[in-house]
Amino acid sequence: MHLLSLLIWLPLFGSALVLAAGDQRPVLARWLALLLMLGALALCVPLYGGFDSSTAAMQFVEKMPWIEAFNIHYHLGVDGFSMPLVLLTCFFGVIVVVASWTSIQQRVAQYMAAFLLLQGLMVGVFVALDGMLFYIFFEAMLIPMFLIIGIWGGERRVYATLKFFLYTFFGSVFMLVGLIWLYLQSGSFDILAWHDFPLSLQAQKWLFMAFFIAFAVKVPMWPVHTWLPDAHVEAPTGGSVILAAIMLKIGGYGFLRFSLPITPDGSAALDWLIIALSLIAIVYIGLVALVQLDMKKLIAYSSIAHMGFATLGFFVVVSIVREAGVTDAANMGLTGGMVQMISHGFISGALFLCVGVLYDRTHSRQIRDYGGVAISMPWFATFAVLFFMANTGLPGTSGFVGEFFVILSSFAANFWYAALAALTLILSAGYSLYLVKRVFFGDIKNKAVAEMQDLNKREFAILGILALAVLLLGVWPNPLVELMQPSVEQLLSHIALSKVSGS
Amino acid sequence: MTAVDLMLALPELFILFMTCVIMLVGLWLPRDRQGLISFMSVMTLVFAAIILLGWDDSNPSAVDYAFNAAFVRDQMADVLKLTAFILLGAIFIYARQYLRVFKMAILEYHVLSLFMLLGAMVLISSASMLTVYLGLELIALPSYALVALRRDDKRATEAAMKYFVLGSLASGLLLYGLSMIYGVTGTLSLAQVANITSMGNNTVLVLGLIFVVIGIAFKLGVVPLHMWIPDVYEGAPAAVTILISSVPKLAAFAMAIRLLSDGMGNMQEHWMSMLVVLATLSIVLGNLVAIAQSNIKRMLAYSTIAHMGFMLLGLLTGTDQGFSASMFYAIVYAIMSAGAFAVIILLSQHGVEAENLDDYKGLNKRSPWLALMMLMLMFSLAGVPVFAGFFAKWLVIQAVLDAGMVWLAVLAVVFSVIGAFYYLRVVKLMYFDEPDSDEAIIVPADFRAALTLNGSAQLLLGIFANILIALCVASF
């Protein structure tokens, strides 16, 4: 069974099929897309069932030669890091199709085709084990997103989408130079072989910087984050959801798959850089989020702050491992970062869907246009408040688990890291609750709000499932944590060893 | 001259023979039956391809010489010639409707194009400085005439004049350089030149080399010998621009390989530094100036300059890996360029050249198929994976890194990001803007088939890049 190939190619071929259905038949296009997304999700069942979470080895491996002249292989596999992200991707594939069911009326087939394309490519990024294959998926992904924001976006969509494309393209070309350089040194594009390939400290530092530029733009980290608020604000709801829930995670995943294992000594030498930028993201961007007037922009800034937690967790680990060995605190940093990524996927996705629900009704994202939504839409308000609470890291929701782990781990590294990171509990509570107060509570602001209909069945189902996921992950994160434990431990012991040859 | 000599050059002889036949038949055809010329020309190319492939290829890596070692047939020559046949066949299909609408001389167009192809084939297979010059002129003379084919068009005649004057100057300089090399070595054969230059350096040889590099740079159109490109691309009818931007680029690449690698490979230290300057200037200037263009033909002209700069990146390394990377680049670029100009030709069907970028507004609404093809071509030109253009850029950057020139690789990737902007702008116009007119776009069936192939070739040459890469690697 080529499960991983199926997960990539089913949506890719599906997108051609949907495109062939044509824009004249929107109903057919929608159902076809839903069917394909459900098919991909169904494929995740045997994938999850067949996954052995007691080993850190790559599973469901597929390997065949692709470009023999340069030793490039079509090499796929999943481990504890990529598995949850693949599941998350397939899950959100279904969600965006359902969420866009009625809000997209223009060129439906092209819209659905773009999302199917995006889905196949994103799964490809997570399961590729060949450097060139990874890069191709990583870059090709920009094309459908560029079109999604540009065609179905808001007023300043052209500016936003060009900025998005050029920023991320600029970041990743340096990674390309790094990957080629690695190939010339090691004679292969195999990522797993690169993990064990000895490199001098100087080389590792350069490589680390090349990877850093690519992934920092993707995460995004301060100060290269400015494309994200623009892209989020202008993107259609589905685009925002995928952008926040999946695409940002690719940056974090890149750090785990490339930076930490390939350049462990480079990471140890330069971890201060990422830690500093993460802390700036957490504190400064949290403050920026406080003053936003646009709901989508606020959530976008909150995303940057929360992703700062994931990168903080990944890189505080390096100094802990190098000084104290593979300890529980180190384990908690990596695990916490991963849990934070998955949890942020659910929460930010849900929050953008909530804004989409409001936007579909009043065509405004401005906070000042709302007030008293809880009175006219009680069910919706229940869900939305739950997601905003999860965003602040309320215990019992998934947002708590990751942040708690990361803060604990930071304590072991440096008291001040933890102290600064913990500020987020105040800041995120500040901007989330302030928004909740202004939008949901109080008196009904105007006629438009008074006339809003509560959730229909479709919206109820989507938000309900997401709420369930957020709560489940909050009270019982064990399945997720156990799934990645072997991979986390392996990566930790890998970082502990120096790769500098001869030392 | 033996029978084997003739057999080796059979595709060339066949093209020459058929061109003469077409010329004679065309003279007797009445005006309303001229469609036959296009058909015959395409069939000529099909059979030429069959003859080329039919050559007994028991040893594909063999290098066969003919006509007293003036003509060489190796794998590089075969691959490039085959590409040229396919491209020219597609161009004839693209041009059919355009020539009728613009009332251009159909017979002359085809015959001159076929002569140009013949010149390209001779140049690709040249093993002596004489055949180099022969092939070069056989490309250049029909090109001048083709640009001026719409003789009442002021811009076209001006462009032709400019092209002719500058082209002759470049030919003269090349000839001057070749004569210096001949003066020192006493031989025209490039293989013998290679033997003699290995003995040591000589000032006259270096001087000759400089003139040769100038000649090559002019044919490729790299900075600072690029001035003719924007004017000729803009001034010539789209059906001629598509010719100039595709087949001769393959030949110019081959010329560089024959002269610099086969002939003067031992003087690499000299030509490498020259090519580094040419490549850097082209990549920088081409990409920056293209951003400022509002005319799509001029934009693509500057994009050509930038792409040829990229192509030089592989050549200048002087390694087999670099040569094969450049070969891949030249082939992929010729295909991309042909596709992009085909879209311009198609949109010019109402008797006005669709050369303003605004003519592409809302193309996705007018014809989703055409917009999708152009989208793939633009992303391929921009070098975004998984399209073929990415693999071309990757290979040359890899060659440059392998040669230890990290700064050049970084410069190349940075400017490929800057270059992505103007290709994205075309995509933006097609997909994000509303159309100005609702005029229907009529697409002949053969045109649709050819452009579909050309567009999806970007995707297929990307996904199955291994095949073409293997061919290019085996050529060196």
User: Which three-class secondary structure state does DSSP give residue A452?
Assistant: coil
Residues A494 and A487: their CA atoms lie apart, in Å, by: 10
Cβ–Cβ contact A174 with B under 8 A: yes
Contacts B428 to A, Cβ<8 Å: 150, 158, 161-162
Tell me which residues of chain B, numbers 416 to 475, contact chain A at a CB-CB cutoff of 8 Å: 416-417, 420-421, 424, 427-428, 431-432, 465-466, 469-470, 473
Q: What is the pLDDT of residues B319-375, one digit of tens each?
A: 999 999 999 999 999 999 999 999 999 988 887 888 888 888 888 888 889 999 999
Give B58's pLDDT tier (boundaries 50, 70, 90). Answer: low
Partner-chain residue, chosen from A139, A158, A180, that has the shortest CB–CB distance to B385: A139
Residues A392 and A240: their CA atoms lie apart, in Å, by: 20
A23 vs B413: CB contact, 8 Å cut-off?
Answer: no
> In the numeric block, which tokens belong to residue A262?
């390939």
Q: How far is A397 from chain B (nearest CA, A)?
A: 39
How open is the CA angle A3-A5-A6, to the nearest 5 degrees? Answer: 65
Asked if the peptide bond before residue B386 counts as cis, ω within 30 degrees of 0, the response is yes
Indicate left, alpha or beta for B105 from its phi (over 0: left) and psi (-120 to 50: alpha): beta
Answer whether 0.90 is exceeded by the pTM.
Answer: yes
Residue A369 Cα distances to A293, A439, A450, angstroms: 10, 8, 12
Name the residue with tokens 């001057």. Answer: B176
Q: What is the pLDDT of residues B405-436, one digit of tens each?
A: 999 999 999 999 998 999 999 999 999 888 88
Q: What is the pLDDT of residue A300?
A: 92
Q: What is the pLDDT of residue B57?
A: 60
Q: What is the pLDDT of residues B84-95, one digit of tens each?
A: 999 999 999 999
Residues A415 and A419: their CA atoms lie apart, in Å, by: 6
Q: What is the interface pTM, i.e. ipTM, of the complex?
A: 0.91
Contacts B413 to A, Cβ<8 Å: 173-174, 176-177
Give the bridge partners for A366, in sequence order: A294
Instruction: Yes or no: say if A174 and A214 are a contact pair by the CB < 8 Å rule.
Output: yes
Question: Does the pLDDT value for residue B185 go beyond 70?
Answer: yes
Q: What is the pLDDT of residue A503?
A: 43
Sign of CA dihedral B52, B58, B62, B65: negative
3-state SS of B108-133 is: HHHHHHHHHHHHHHHHHCECEHHHHH
B469 vs A69: CB contact, 8 Å cut-off?
Answer: yes
A150 vs B417: CB contact, 8 Å cut-off?
Answer: no
Residues B218 and B203: their CA atoms lie apart, in Å, by: 23
Partner-chain residue, chosen from A70, A107, A181, that has the shortest CB–CB distance to B401: A181
Contacts A67 to B, Cβ<8 Å: 465-466, 469
A150 vs B431: CB contact, 8 Å cut-off?
Answer: yes
Instruction: Yes or no: say if A243 and A145 are a contact pair by the CB < 8 Å rule.
Output: yes
> In the numeric block, which tokens belong to residue B378?
């633009």
Q: What is the pLDDT of residue A501?
A: 66
Residues A207 and A201: their CA atoms lie apart, in Å, by: 10
Residues A428 and A423: their CA atoms lie apart, in Å, by: 9
Instruction: Yes or no: say if A472 and A302 are a contact pair by the CB < 8 Å rule.
Output: no
Question: Whole-number mean pLDDT of chain A?
Answer: 89
Partner-chain residue, chosen from B397, B410, B466, that has the shortest CB–CB distance to A68: B466
Do strands A72-78 and B64-66 pair parallel, antiparallel, or not at all (unpaired)? unpaired
Element (H, E) at A67: strand A59-67
Question: Does the pLDDT value for residue B60 go beyond 80?
Answer: no
The pLDDT of B397-409, averaged and rounded, is 91
A176 vs B413: CB contact, 8 Å cut-off?
Answer: yes
Q: What is the pLDDT of residues A21-79, one digit of tens each?
A: 877 888 888 999 999 999 999 999 999 988 888 888 888 989 999 988 888 999 999 99
Q: Which residues, other chains included, contact A293 with Cβ-Cβ below 8 Å and sequence gap of 6+?
A: A366, A367, A368
Instruction: Yes or no: say if B40 and B22 are a contact pair by the CB < 8 Å rule.
Output: yes
> In the numeric block, which tokens belong to residue B187?
């031989």
Contacts B384 to A, Cβ<8 Å: 139-140, 142-143, 169
Residues A433 and B95: their CA atoms lie apart, in Å, by: 65
Query: Count of CB atoms within 10 A of residue B396's CB?
Result: 29
Q: What is the pLDDT of residue B349?
A: 81
Residue A145 Cα distances to A90, A139, A163, A201, angstroms: 17, 11, 12, 37
Residue B108 Cα distances to A266, B200, B212, B420, angstroms: 65, 49, 32, 37
SS3 content of chain B, % helix, strand, coil (to 5): 80, 0, 20
Residue A395 Cα distances to A283, A381, A475, B430, angstroms: 21, 20, 8, 49
Asked if the peptide bond before residue B224 counts as cis, ω within 30 degrees of 0, the response is yes
Query: Count of CB atoms within 10 A of residue B152's CB?
Result: 6
**Which range has the worst mean pLDDT, A8-22, A272-286, B45-59?**
B45-59
Name the residue with tokens 């989508």. Answer: A296
Q: CA B398, B403, B409, B412: dihedral to nearest 10 degrees?
A: -90
Residues A304 and A441: their CA atoms lie apart, in Å, by: 26
Asked if the peptide bond before residue A486 counts as cis, ω within 30 degrees of 0, the response is no
% of chain A at pLDDT higher than 90: 46
Give the bridge partners for A73, in sequence order: A65
Q: CA B429, B434, B435, B441: dihedral to nearest 10 degrees?
A: 80
Q: What is the pLDDT of residues A164-214, one digit of tens each?
A: 999 999 989 999 999 999 999 898 999 999 988 888 888 999 999 999 999
Contacts B385 to A, Cβ<8 Å: 135-137, 139-140
Give B199's pLDDT tier (boundaries 50, 70, 90). Answer: low
Question: Does the pLDDT value for residue B119 go beyond 60?
Answer: yes
Q: What is the pLDDT of residue A386?
A: 92
Contacts B394 to A, Cβ<8 Å: 132, 176, 180
A139 vs B390: CB contact, 8 Å cut-off?
Answer: yes
Residues A406 and A301: their CA atoms lie apart, in Å, by: 20
- Identify which of A56-60, A254-258, A408-412, B346-350 has the greatest average pLDDT: A254-258
Contacts A137 to B, Cβ<8 Å: 385
Partner-chain residue, chosen from B385, B402, B428, that has the shortest CB–CB distance to A140: B385
> Which chain B residue has the Cα nearest residue A141?
B385
The pLDDT of B234-250, averaged and rounded, is 92
Residues A146 and A402: their CA atoms lie apart, in Å, by: 31
Q: How far is B402 from chain A (nearest CA, A)?
A: 7
% of chain A at pLDDT higher than 70: 99
Cβ–Cβ contact A12 with B under 8 A: no
| Residue A183 CA from chain centroid, whole number | 28
Cβ–Cβ contact B402 with A under 8 A: yes
Residues A478 and B2: their CA atoms lie apart, in Å, by: 82
Instruction: Yes or no: say if A275 and A312 are a contact pair by the CB < 8 Å rule.
Output: yes
Contacts A181 to B, Cβ<8 Å: 401, 406
> In the numeric block, which tokens belong to residue A404?
């708690």
How open is the CA angle B267-B250-B430, to the nearest 5 degrees? Answer: 130
Asked if the peptide bond before residue B248 counts as cis, ω within 30 degrees of 0, the response is no
Residues B135 and B77: their CA atoms lie apart, in Å, by: 13
Contacts B364 to A, Cβ<8 Å: 107, 110, 151
Cβ–Cβ contact A167 with B under 8 A: no
Q: What does the DSSP 8-state code read for residue B69? A: T
> In the numeric block, which tokens belong to residue B284?
């920088």
Cβ–Cβ contact A70 with B under 8 A: yes
> In the numeric block, which tokens belong to residue B99?
């020539």
User: Which three-class secondary structure state does DSSP give residue A9?
Assistant: helix
Q: How far is B94 from chain A (nearest CA, A)?
A: 24
Q: CA A27, A33, A39, A45: dihedral to nearest 10 degrees?
A: -120
Q: What is the pLDDT of residue B61?
A: 64
Residues B130 and A448: their CA atoms lie apart, in Å, by: 83
B470 vs A157: CB contact, 8 Å cut-off?
Answer: no
Partner-chain residue, chosen from A158, A174, A181, that has the shortest CB–CB distance to B432: A158
